[in-house]
Amino acid sequence: MSEQTPADNKNVDDIDVNKATANDNAANESTPNKNNPELKKHTFEAEVAQLLHLVTHSLYSNSDIFVRELVSNASDACDKLRFEATNDDSLYENDGELRIRIAVDENAKTITFTDNGIGMNEADAIENLGTIAKSGTKAFLDKLSESQKQDGQLIGQFGVGFYSGFIVADTISVESRKAGEAADTGVRWVSDGTGSFTVEPINKAERGTAITLHLKEEYSEGEDSYLDRNKIKRLVNKYSDHISLPIQMRKEVWQEDVVDDENDDAPAGGEMVLTDEWETINKASALWTRSASEIEDDEYVDFYKNITYDMDAPLTWTHNRVEGRVQYTQLLYIPKKAPVDLYTREQQHGLKLYVKRVFIMDEAEQLLPMYLRFVKGVIDSADLPLNVSRELLQESRDVKSIRDGNARRILTLLSSLANSEDSDKQEKFAQFYAEFGDVIKEGLGEDMGNQERIAKLLRYATSTQDGLETSFEDYKGRIKEGQKAIYYLTADNLAAAKNSPQLELFKKKGIEVILMTSRVDEWAMNFLTQFDETPLQNIAKGAIDLGDLQDEAEKAEAEKAQETLKPVVDKLKAALGDRAKDVKVSTRLVDSPACLVVGEGELSPQMIQMLKQMGQDVPESKPTLEVNPDHPLIKKLESSEQFDDLAQVIFDQALLADGGQLDDPAAYLKRVNELLMR
């Protein structure tokens, strides 16, 4: 099933291509061949050998990339012709159906990429193929006037893609004729990718360029063979499926063996054979380039499943064309379910990046902040600062602009769901928050520019509301008169939070407290100190100042208790030693004998425990023990003969109630058992 290629009428191996060194003469100097005066040998520009070695061994992470590059170059050539023909329609030469064709020849071990684009003459071939990092496109754009540049925005600006062919080929031959020029002005360019190349004139009836790769042995046999037509189709579908031009290969059909009428027992069989008919193997239409009003929801869902391999439909999506200094199209999806590796921050994530509908990167993580790593979709830009291999984005103002634009768009989409009166949208937001709410909280510390937007999306249970339904705005709407802060408490789970001793005073006074039960909450709240100009206060840290909510009688009673209980406080300090930073009389306790309090800016027991589990070094942090002067146990403590044991038990119980872990559980049990027996 071999296909003839344009270069088959000449044996490339017979061409005299000297392996010149990198320090030979410049590319514009040539040497005629004695056997064929029309065949001229040129040396690449200085240091080309080193550059070609870099291209074939370092710039590209996998050999498949040459398909993307050569198809992209062919598309560029067609775009150039289309642009030039706006002023000179004759350049189409009565062939206005632009296309790219790929032909595989198993016998010759070649693969050929053909386009009917702008083409090249001899001077163009020497200039554009004899110089690294110059395909002619950038020079073409430089010739455009400022008023024309907007019209030429589809024209590519990549230069070294052609040389990626040397990853898989030991020789590349190019046959081309420039649009509008005579057939005898065609040119054949041949090189083995070392130090030199040859050019010679040819007669070429068809306009455009045919690039033939003579594959290396390791790429023409076995699993790595590029002579497999189905493999080429898969690579086109992966990298170039949405190029607007048709990419074609010859159609295959099944042909049965002719049956021998005289021998009915002869086995029937057949084989796949190539026809003269060409079939388009890419979609040739990018979904995201169409107007959103023209696209059905089912099309959006099918496209999402195609690019993510997710069996479920997406939760929601947003499709926009962004205009401004940086112009790009974004099609962003929020999945319905979180992936199993969502909290593995080292796991690859990101958006599919296209440039002019040409696939560039599968997971362009630079286009999304880390806390939005669950978002899937496509970004298509006419121009981005890529490195020479297109595989890594360079950080720049344009990249930052796209990343910030994507973040704002996603947060706006989520806000529209959260604040909608539509029950379906409210349900979608609830689904989103259940799956990705904790990840969004990471943005409080990672994206200060959008901190307020993120804070408005957060939902919590409270001391009066069990479900994750209360926002900071909801809480402020229910705030008590005279209340100067938004009060919150962090705990391991909702039950622990609702039964925390820290809540007792607030329950007594009917003050609602936000209950934060995610492991990320305490870390995140280090970055959010206020909401809508109202301070946020962790009721388990520092002294509690209820301001106008605490009357003068309560303050006087607290001061009196400090004096009355001073002997007990001093004995507790001595008994606990270095376990507690200090011992104080509490104003926040109602029913419990004691609680632990850490200072503002210090780590809570839960945070210390989490950091230790992560294997991190934790700075020394000791809590303050606060005791309830009205509790019977504290009142009887001074006269107890087991004062030291009771002091340790009271401290350990306060630590357990606060979600901490005992350093010596056995010692705690021993003390409790002894006290019970007495």
75 is in an annotated binding site: no
Element (H, E) at 235: helix 229-239
Expressed in angstroms, the distance from the first to the final Cα of the chain is: 96
Residue 173 within any structural domain of the chain: yes
Whether residue 56 is found in the same domain as residue 163: yes
Phi and psi, residue 50, nearest 5°: -65, -40
Q: Please, what's the b/e burial string for 132-157 (b: 16 or more CB within 10 A of its CB; e: otherwise)? A: bebbbbeebbeeeeeeeeeebebbbe
What is the pLDDT confidence band of residue 40, given thresholds at 50, 70 and 90?
confident
**Number of Cβ atoms within 10 Å of the Cβ of 653:** 19
pLDDT value, residue 412:
97
Whether residue 271 is found in the same domain as residue 420: no
157 is in an annotated binding site: yes
By CB atoms closer than 10 A (0-12, 13-18, 19+), residue 225 is: middle
Structure tokens at 672: 């409790």
Rounded-to-integer distance, Cα 386 and Cα 395, Å: 9
Domain CATH number, residue 519: 3.40.50.11260
Structure tokens at 201: 């004139």
Mean pLDDT of all residues in 77-104 = 92
Whether residue 92 is found in the same domain as residue 218: yes
Whether residue 212 is found in the same domain as residue 95: yes
What does the longest C-alpha to C-alpha distance in the chain come to? Answer: 121
Domain CATH number, residue 653: 1.20.120.790
Residue 441 within any structural domain of the chain: no
161 is in an annotated binding site: yes
Helix (H, G, I), strand (E, B) or coil at 294: helix
pLDDT value, residue 175:
97
Structure tokens at 309: 């391999």
Whether residue 68 is found in the same domain as residue 192: yes
As for how many domains the chain has, the answer is 4
What is the pLDDT confidence band of residue 34, given thresholds at 50, 70 and 90?
low
107 is in an annotated binding site: no
- Domain boundary among the residues 534, 549, 564 is at 549
pLDDT value, residue 59:
55
**Of 257 and 569, the one with more pLDDT:** 569
Helix (H, G, I), strand (E, B) or coil at 473: helix
Residue 381 within any structural domain of the chain: yes
Residue 307 within any structural domain of the chain: yes
pLDDT value, residue 177:
97
pTM for the full predicted model? 0.70
pLDDT value, residue 97:
94
Whether residue 387 is found in the same domain as residue 417: yes
Whether residue 544 is found in the same domain as residue 658: no
Whether residue 370 is found in the same domain as residue 505: no
Structure tokens at 412: 């706006």
Residue 12 scores a pLDDT above 70: no
Residue 192 within any structural domain of the chain: yes
- Domain boundary among the residues 527, 549, 571 is at 549
Least confident range of 223-237, 421-435, 609-623 = 609-623
Helix (H, G, I), strand (E, B) or coil at 470: strand
CB within 8 A of 307, min separation 6: which ones? 352, 376, 377, 378
Residue 248 scores a pLDDT above 90: yes
Mean pLDDT of all residues in 402-426 = 95
Rounded-to-integer distance, Cα 600 and Cα 363, Å: 41
162 is in an annotated binding site: yes
Secondary structure letter of residue 501 according to DSSP: G
Query: pLDDT by residue (tens digit) across 313-349?
Result: 999 999 999 988 889 999 999 999 988 878 776 777 8
374 is in an annotated binding site: no
Domain CATH number, residue 149: 3.30.565.10
Residue of 491, 589, 475 whose CA lies nearest to 535: 475
294 is in an annotated binding site: no
pLDDT value, residue 389:
46
pLDDT value, residue 22:
33
What is the pLDDT confidence band of residue 241, given thresholds at 50, 70 and 90?
confident
538 is in an annotated binding site: no
Q: Judge contact between 39 and 198, C-beta under 8 A.
A: yes
Residue 2 within any structural domain of the chain: no
Residue 536 within any structural domain of the chain: yes
Whether residue 168 is found in the same domain as residue 294: no
Whether residue 292 is found in the same domain as residue 248: no
Least confident range of 377-386, 397-406, 435-444 = 377-386
- Domain boundary among the residues 549, 566, 587 is at 549
User: Hey, what's the torsion of the CAs at 359, 365, 371, 374, to 10 degrees?
Assistant: 40
pLDDT value, residue 598:
86
Q: Which of 384-398, 439-453, 636-650 tops mean pLDDT?
A: 439-453
Mean pLDDT of all residues in 394-423 = 91
Mean pLDDT of all residues in 148-164 = 49
List, edge to edge, every strand of the sheet that includes 208-215: 30-32, 40-43, 196-202, 186-191, 169-177, 208-215, 110-115, 100-105, 247-256, 270-280
Residue 7 within any structural domain of the chain: no
Rounded-to-integer distance, Cα 48 and Cα 389, Å: 17
50 is in an annotated binding site: no
73 is in an annotated binding site: yes
pLDDT value, residue 593:
93
69 is in an annotated binding site: yes
Least confident range of 355-359, 360-364, 371-375 = 355-359
Q: Which residues form the domain of 600?
A: 554-677
203 is in an annotated binding site: no
128 is in an annotated binding site: yes
Whether residue 363 is found in the same domain as residue 509: no
436 is in an annotated binding site: no
83 is in an annotated binding site: no
Whether residue 111 is found in the same domain as residue 181: yes
Rounded-to-integer distance, Cα 226 and Cα 105, Å: 10
136 is in an annotated binding site: yes
